[in-house]
Amino acid sequence: MSGLLPSLESIENFAKGTIATAAGLGTVGVGLLFFGQNYLIYPSAFPPGSRTEVPLPIDFGLPYQDPELVTPDGLKLPCYLLLQRKDMSHVEAPEVETREDESDEEFASRRPTILMFHGNGGNVGHRIPLAKVFYVKMRCNVFMLSYRGYGRSEGSPSEKGIQIDAQCALDYVSSHPALSSSPIVLYGQSIGGAVSIDLASRNPHAIRALILENTFLSLPRLVPNAFPILGPFAFLCHQKWDSASKIPLIPRDIPILMLSGVQDEVVPREHMQGLWEIVQKRVSRRSKEVDAEDRTERNGKTVHDIVDRGAHSRFVEFEKGTHNDTCVQQGYWTTVAEFIASLRVRSTSET
């Protein structure tokens, strides 16, 4: 696993992009909470060159397709698709069981598909090192969405617009010849976690699981925590991303893995803890037979598990993780890999 983990050096561009969260929100003024807040919440041009310089998967030795989505409102979004193949020896991927008469398309259809939603800075290319772990180590298909107004995608970002983009991506994957029967897992970092929760709440029938990293209860509720002096003016924030109200709409048989950096300087730890409390209530409210929560501490991380008859959700805290480096903390990718593997085991046992 260690050879495939995204090193601090390999995700330099990724970190530069996501650090825009802190830079953007740190400059919010009372007036800008309403006027021009989209430019602060979605700093797609930071770091400089992010709108034109978009790394390609081939730069990291990954074969890929580049589907261009066209949204219902007519915008073109160039995206990346990493489709599994039976023979992945060219990237030294672990072998998995295949049938001799099975085509690459049939093989890909049996593998999980990760639908990636990135944070609010940089572009889709900055997250390729993370996609590589899913693709190579876990043998997952990966679809990387480029939001409107990001990278080379057309348009300007907004909550409503990105919701349209996410739905368009899900519809594409769901209708793809090789992916239509693949279990779909949403992976969202920071604001991408809010995108994932919103999409799952509107398409529970199409989603197998969610993986959420360092996301928030809602943007208006983030303002008082991060900037107490602006608390009284949080109502001016019209970009809501209200995850707290949407998680209860996600059925209990959809497991959720939550990954939280305890030292997160952008999204206070309490937000992930608050979302976890809602996940727990979602389970206990809908089932009378729920196992008690199990809490363990090991190797710099705290693991909270809650299991019911339909799902296994987990909340993991990384003691040294900050907003932009939680994904390189010890145990992060092992936790993710175990979660993905557990989905396959349950899926097999349910059929």
Cα separation, 328 vs 335, whole angstroms: 12
Q: How far is CA 334 from CA 2, 53, 61, in A?
A: 10, 31, 23
User: Which residue segments constitute the domains of the chain, with CATH numbers given?
Assistant: 2-350 (3.40.50.1820)
pLDDT at 2: 44
Concatenating the DSSP letter of every residue in 80-122 gives EEE---S--GGGTPPP----TT--HHHHHHHS-EEEEE--SSS
List the strands of the sheet with 209-213, edge to edge: 80-82, 141-144, 113-117, 184-189, 209-213, 256-261, 312-318, 301-307, 294-298
Q: How far is CA 79 from CA 15, 21, 313, in A?
A: 20, 22, 30
Please, which pLDDT band fits residue 25 given cuts at 50, 70 and 90?
Answer: very low
pLDDT at 99: 85
Other Cβ atoms less than 10 A from the Cβ of 9: the count is 7
Instruction: List residues with catalytic annotation.
Output: 190, 264, 323
Mean pLDDT of the chain: 86
Cα separation, 149 vs 123, whole angstroms: 10
Q: Classify the C-alpha dihedral 91-334-316-293 as positive or negative.
A: positive
Please, which pLDDT band fits residue 4 given cuts at 50, 70 and 90?
Answer: low
> What percent of the chain has pLDDT above 70?
79
pLDDT(293) > 90: no
To the nearest 10 degrees (0 to 180), the angle between helices 191-202 and 159-175 is: 60
pLDDT at 231: 67
Please, which pLDDT band fits residue 234 given cuts at 50, 70 and 90?
Answer: confident
pLDDT(23) > 50: no
- Quick check: pTM over 0.85? yes
Averaged pLDDT for residues 165-170: 98
Cα separation, 101 vs 191, whole angstroms: 42
Q: 324: which strand partners?
A: none
pLDDT at 76: 98
pLDDT(143) > 50: yes
pLDDT at 104: 94
> What percent of the chain has pLDDT above 90?
67
Using the 8-state DSSP alphabet, how is residue 304 labeled? E
pLDDT, tens only, 170-180 = 999 999 999 99
pLDDT at 24: 46
Per-residue tokens: 3: 């050879």
Least confident of 13-27, 29-43, 121-135: 13-27
Cα separation, 152 vs 6, whole angstroms: 24
Segment of 83-97, 194-208, 220-234 carrying the highest mean pLDDT: 194-208
